[in-house]
Every structure is written in C-alpha cells, then in structure tokens.
C-alpha cells in the first residue's frame, strides 16, 4: 500500500509500542508518507524504555526530523512532558504479543489494562482529539466452527475464569476503558481488533507460525509444523497493516471497533507447504502432530473485514505469496534485536 493517501493534514502523534512489530511497521510507513509529501505532515514521539538501544539496533530511524523519543513505559510516570505539551493523536500499541506470553498473567493484565488507562489519561492531558487502541481478535474467544469469518458484532469472549485467557480478557477491558473515556472526556476512541500479520519486521524465532516457517525454509533442514496443521489463519502484510491502522486513527468512527487482518483463510499445514514452495522448493515439511489444547481452542482465527472495506475502503493489497517473499527478503525481525530492547 503506497503511503501518502491517508488524510493526515498536520498530525502530532504519540506512539506506544513504537519499537515492536506494529510500531516499526508504522514508522516505516510514516517515513514514506513524509517523504512523499516532501514535508512532515506527521510528527511522531515514541515512548521507549531505551531509545538509545533501539536506535543502535535500527539506525534507519535515527536523525529523522519528524521523529523523537520519550524515555519511559506505559505503566510509568509520564509527567516529564512540558506543561504545554500537545498531541493531536495517540496510537497505543504497547501490549507485547511477542514476549508477552512469557509474563506472569497478572503482570500481563496490568500492562494491558493499567497501561491503556495511563495512555488515555495522557491523551486527555495533552489535548488529543483521537485515540487508537490496538486490540486483538482474541477478544472474541474461540471462533465457533460454523462461523467462517468473525464480525465485529460477534459478542463472544474468552472465559474470564481461566488465567490462560488473560490477553483476550485484558484487551476486552482495555476496549471498555476507551468507551468510558470517550463518554467522560469526549475523546474520540477507535479500536483496531488485530489478527495475524507477516512482514520483514516479524520475529522468526518466537511463537508466530508463519515466521517459524520462513526461518525453517531459509535456514533449517526441514520446515516443521508442531501441531497437526489443521488450524485456519489469515495474514495481512505489514505495509497494509500500517495503512489500515493510520486510516483507523484518522478516519475511524469514534466508539467503534474494526477488524484488522486478511479474510483469506489458509490452514497451517498448507501455509507451511506454501512457504516451502516459495522459498525452498523440495525441502521436506514435517507435521509433528503434537497435541496443543490451547491451539485447539482457536482452531479458526479469521476476521470478517466487510466493515473496514465498506466504511473506510480498506483492502488487502499484498497477496500472501508476495508477502512471504518480501518477509524472507527482509530477513525477518531478528529475535536477538527484540530481546535487546523490549
């Protein structure tokens, strides 16, 4: 998706999660947008625990006139801004889907819910007009077998009595906080319910199946599917992701949620074979068939994106085959880099 066709006018953007997969996808998109404009219609301030380490690992983001960093985290005291600090928009994506599963459930709940409230308070304090929460398709809970693509109107949710469901339950709570701040403070809040993604910034050595398959095709003797390969997923390329999120941030209807992802389903086994065929023809694919109760609870994870198409003219612009090739060419978001600054 080419940058430059989002109605930005003049945006002063505060970004959390700016050093993760979503954040780097967004910053690359904004760089292209500003370059295409020949000016800086969007300036961005990124919250990071260690800006120096991030910039040492990703020097392409250093010395950009429209980009600055603020040291801190979503749970910290953000009173260090000048009294007259203003941000027109807040992009809140700082709930870690990469390393988050390693956190204790209570800590993860605190990061998502209390962190969202802290960012909403910042938005109110700095006079922001619009706030985008990157939520998750996990808020719907298990997708019923007869529901091919889950719409925003589906009111299912994960079992709140299971600690394993902390991510989806906490995201539901964060969404409700957005509704409360919209009613109380007049802040326009929009929710992006994000599904699965792929791109050069995706880590290849964590729990993302498509990243593992790309790694295996490039560097391992075989492509390994740990489960039985039956779950269905869909993948949106990171440039499309960034375009969708910026569109939601600037044009999404306040108080509404939008699914973000591709609606083109593929089984995990077929995905492994597709990655192999594109990147390493002839390499064996091994389906281990290891039982995974957690994966079984999410046998289908595919969004209905009719609302984004109808209301905001958003499209899946990058075919999966091309997205896989681009991901491999970019080398993936190196995991060693991730753990160095997250």
* Residue 78: closest CA among 124, 41, 40: 124
Sheet hosting strand 266-267, strand order edge to edge: 266-267, 232-233, 300-301
CA–CA dist 43, 211 (Å, integer) = 31
Which position among 167, 181, 235, 258 bears the catalytic label? Answer: 167
CA–CA dist 169, 192 (Å, integer) = 15
CB proximity list for 86: less than 8 A, separation 6 or greater: 12, 126, 127, 128
235 belongs to the catalytic site: no
Active site residues: 167
């Amino acid at each position: 998706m080419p940058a430059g066709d989002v109605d930005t006018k003049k945006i002063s953007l505060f970004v959390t999660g700016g050093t993760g997969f979503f954040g780097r996808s967004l910053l690359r998109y904004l760089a292209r947008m500003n370059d295409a404009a020949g000016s800086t219609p969007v300036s961005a301030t990124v919250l990071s625990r260690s800006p120096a380490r991030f910039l040492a690992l990703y020097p392409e983001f250093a010395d950009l006139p429209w980009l600055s960093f603020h040291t801190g985290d979503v749970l910290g005291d953000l009173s260090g801004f000048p009294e007259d600090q203003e941000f027109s928009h807040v992009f809140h994506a700082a709930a870690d889907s990469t390393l988050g599963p390693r956190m204790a459930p209570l800590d993860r709940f605190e990061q998502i819910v209390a962190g969202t409230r802290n960012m909403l308070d910042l938005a109110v304090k700095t006079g922001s007009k619009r706030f985008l929460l990157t939520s998750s398709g996990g808020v719907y809970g298990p997708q019923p077998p007869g529901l091919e693509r889950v719409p925003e109107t589906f009111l299912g949710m994960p079992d709140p009595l299971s600690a394993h469901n902390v991510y989806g339950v906490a995201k539901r709570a964060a969404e409700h906080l957005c509704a409360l701040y919209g009613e109380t403070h007049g802040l326009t809040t929009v929710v992006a319910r994000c599904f699965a993604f792929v791109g050069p910034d995706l880590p290849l050595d964590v729990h993302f199946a498509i990243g593992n398959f790309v790694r295996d095709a490039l560097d391992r003797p075989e492509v390994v599917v740990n489960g039985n390969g039956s779950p269905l997923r869909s993948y949106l390329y990171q440039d499309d992701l960034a375009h969708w999120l910026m569109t939601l941030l600037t044009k999404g209807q306040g108080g509404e949620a939008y699914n973000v992802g591709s609606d083109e389903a593929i089984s995990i086994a077929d995905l492994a074979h597709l990655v192999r065929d594109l990147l390493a023809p002839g390499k064996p694919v091994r389906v281990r068939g290891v039982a995974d109760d957690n994966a079984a609870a999410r046998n289908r994870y595919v969004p209905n994106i009719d609302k984004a198409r109808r209301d905001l003219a958003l499209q899946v612009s990058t075919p999966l085959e091309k997205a896989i090739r681009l991901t491999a060419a970019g080398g993936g978001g190196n995991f060693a880099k991730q753990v160095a600054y997250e």
